[in-house]
Amino acid sequence: MEDFTEIERALNKNSSALSRRKFIKMSSAGLAVLSFPMSSVFASEPLKKSKNNPKIIWVLLRGALDSLHTIVPTLDPQYKALRPKLSTSFKAPLLPLERGFALHPSLKNLHAWYQKKDLLPIVAVSTGYPRRSHFDGQDFLESGKSDIDHDSGWLARAIDVKQKQALAVARATPISLRSSEQVKTWYPSNLKNADDDIYSAIAKLYQHDELLRENLQNGLEVRGLVGAQKRNKKKRQGKFIDLTKACAKLMVGEQGIECSMLELGGWDTHNNQSGRLEQKLTEFDNGLAELKAGLGDEWQNTVVVIGTEFGRTAKENGTGGTDHGTGSALFLAGGAVAGGKIEGQWPGLKPQELFEQRDLMPTTNSFAWFGNVLAQHWHFSEQELIQVFPHMKAYNKKLVLS
């Protein structure tokens, strides 16, 4: 990973049952790659470091994480009945939490944080998005408004209110950070482009059609992509842990970055969920551990907000997976978090307790939790919060240490 090594050098140098209508009403009521050296990120407007410089890192898990396989409700007798195979698929003992919940065994680092009161899981949440489309669900979550605004994100509005600098670890600015001029993007150039995934998918689609396969191959060769793909196969393999490592280095450098966003996809587990989630959760856990290590002392000033667009069905399907659902979960992590507990009201998994008799029923709203964090960690006033979440009032829970 030569390109990433060069970036590293630069970084081091600059170190019960509700109807759909009731649910929607409840939910809405309260519930670019840098072309210049990494050393120049925010160099034009460096901020002074502070011993108490509160930082927020927003981690979006794209694809709808199955919260019931991640924060396992062992307290609920319906869980095993709904998931006879998935509930017995864990290859190691579950990691105990309070209130009869447990973490997936792959989340060893997060469980250690929970024990040190640096992790706070929140169960049965939703943005209020009423459907089950990944793309719209993610856009709704990132926009943070009652209607999707593709040009304005909740985190962008937050940093503008407090005049903070933000970094998107992404090829282009995600919706979460759009509308603010205080945002830069960075992504290691050695990681594969989205086009690579598209070409791979097309190649798989054409694998049984000789003519189409040959035409695709010829087209890629004309564009010089086939040889490059073969030569750079190892070089293009990017990992979440690389992104978290780079993110941490930037946030503890002299540039004064107080906010960042990371993304991790691959959570759409319609089949073979047990093995796939074991792998993804391990990747996620190791990446966050690297983030904490890289932040060093700044971990004590940091809140990591981790969310996904929606949850998955309470009942497993016939292919060892789960389908698009509604209620999900949030995680808050960091040395500034008042953790070591579970937040959120558990609705139950009986048929009459499920949303539309298929999904985990949301009992609180994700945006109200985000507002809660902004109020306590960045000291937002009620009027300032209205600028970020105009349709939502923040909760008043103890989430962040004073």
C-beta of residue 124 within 8 angstroms of C-beta of residue 364: yes
Q: Is the pLDDT at 233 greater than 70, yes or no?
A: no
CB atoms within 10 A of CB 99: 13
Distance CA 154, CA 199 (A): 33
* Count of H-run helices and E-run strands, the chain: 13, 11
Euclidean distance between CA atoms 282 and 225, whole angstroms? 32
Distance from chain centroid for Cα 331 = 9
- According to the model, what pLDDT value does residue 21 have? 46
Contact 157, 388 (CB under 8 A): yes
Confidence of residue 45 (pLDDT cuts 50, 70, 90): very low
76 touches 349 (CB < 8 A): yes
DSSP assignment of 113-176 equals HHHTT-EEEEEEEE----S--HHHHHHHHHH-SSS--TT--HHHHHHHHHT--EEEESSS--GG
Q: What is the pTM of this model?
A: 0.81
Q: Give the position of tokens 């999900």.
A: 328
Instruction: Classify each residue of 173-205 as buried b or exposed e, where b means 16 or more C-beta atoms within 10 Å of its C-beta.
Output: bbbbbbbbebbbbbbbbbbeeeebeebeeeeee
In percent, the amount of the chain with pLDDT more than 90 equals 73
R_g over Cα of the chain: 21
Mean pLDDT calculated for residue range 58-80: 98
Q: pLDDT tier at 341 (50, 70, 90 boundaries)? A: very high
Q: How confident is the model at residue 196 (pLDDT cuts 50, 70, 90)?
A: low
How confident is residue 402, by pLDDT bands cut at 50, 70 and 90? Answer: confident
Is-contact 241 294, C-beta < 8 A? no
Helix (H) or strand (E) holding 104: none
12-21, 88-97, 184-193, 312-321: which range is least confident on average?
12-21
Q: Which domains does the chain have, with CATH numbers?
A: 2-191+238-388 (3.40.720), 192-237 (no CATH)
Q: How far apart are CA 356 and CA 158, in angstroms?
A: 34
**Given this model, what pLDDT does residue 206 score?**
61
